[in-house]
Amino acid sequence: MATETNPETGKLEFFLDVPFPSSREATIALRSLSPDREPRRGGISKQLSVSGSTLSVRWSADEARILRVSVNSFLDHLSLVVETMEDFGPPVDL
């Protein structure tokens, strides 16, 4: 986890890796958290990906304020997904 200014683009970047018990759960989290896009002209972009059992998120923003709002909101949503998995999981066999 770190915030850095990309020297080429001048944008603030933030990376987050979230470990899950399995790749199945990481993929469920990815698919629950990706459909709602960031505002198109909001000066921020967010990319989610899964590698193994890790969910990775990568932000790129023009301003620290916008980045903070987006990261905060993502963490609220992520913890809701994790709580939902704890209470109503594990995932059924497909």
Partner 1 sequence: MTVVIGFEGSANKIGVGIISDGEVLSNPRRTYITPPGQGFMPSDTARHHRAVILTVLKEALEQAGLKPADIDCVAYTKGPGMGAPLVTVAIVARTVAQLWGKPLLGVNHCIGHIEMGRLITKSNNPTVLYVSGGNTQVIAYLERRYRIFGETIDIAVGNCLDRFARVIKISNDPSPGYNIEQMAKKGTRYVELPYTVKGMDVSFSGILSFIEEAANKMLSSGQCTAEDLCFSLQETVFAMLVETTERAMAHCGSQEVLIVGGVGCNQRLQEMMGVMCKERGAKLFATDERFCIDNGAMIAQAGWEMFRTGRVTELEDSWITQRYRTDEVEVTWRD
Residues at the site binding partner 1, with contacts judged by CB under 8 A: 28-29, 31-37, 73, 76-77, 80-81, 83-85, 87-92, 94
Q: Which CB atom, from 1 or from 94, has the smaller least distance to partner 1? A: 94
DSSP string, 6-63: -TTT--EEEEEEEE-SSHHHHHHHHHHHSSSPPPTTSSEEEEEEEETTEEEEEEEES-
What is the closest distance, in whole angstroms, from the C-beta atom of residue 12 to partner 1 in the complex? 22
Please identify, using beta-carbon distances, which residue of 44 and 81 lies nearer to partner 1: 81
| Closer residue to partner 1 (CB): 11 or 77 | 77
d(CA 26, CA 70): 20
